[in-house]
Amino acid sequence: MTSELNLAGRLGERVEGHFVHLTTDDVVHVAALARLHVTSEETESLVLELSRILDYARDLQELDLTGVPATSQIGITTTVVRADERRPSLTAAEAVANAPDEDEGMFRVPAVLEG
């Protein structure tokens, strides 16, 4: 692992061939939003991995795409369909197993009332 890198405060510096694009606090924040538990070692390696992805995005942004139509697809397939055949679903117990709170097979969330 890369725990000895001590990435704190090195935003924008070049580490192991890549620029550091985000802070360990950013990673901790995103992990909390995604309800992921990450150790401090994992946080540091994630800073580097996510930075590499952001590097890639920055590289793409540098391309001159004048005249190239926008796409959301890589365009190798179209009209992919499946047959209307049933397959087993999860059980209600499995479905709610990872929920922070549940009540008799239902996801229990903070009250949302309209009207």
| Contact positions vs other proteins (CB under 8 A) | 72-73, 77-87, 89-92, 95-96, 101, 103-115
Q: How far apart are CA 67 and CA 43, in angstroms?
A: 40
Cβ count near 20 (within 10 Å): 21
Residue 25 CB, nearest approach to other proteins (Å): 23
Q: How far apart are CA 24 and CA 3, in angstroms?
A: 12
Residue 69 CB, nearest approach to other proteins (Å): 12
With respect to other proteins, which residue has the nearer C-beta, 63 or 113? 113
Residue 34 CB, nearest approach to other proteins (Å): 8
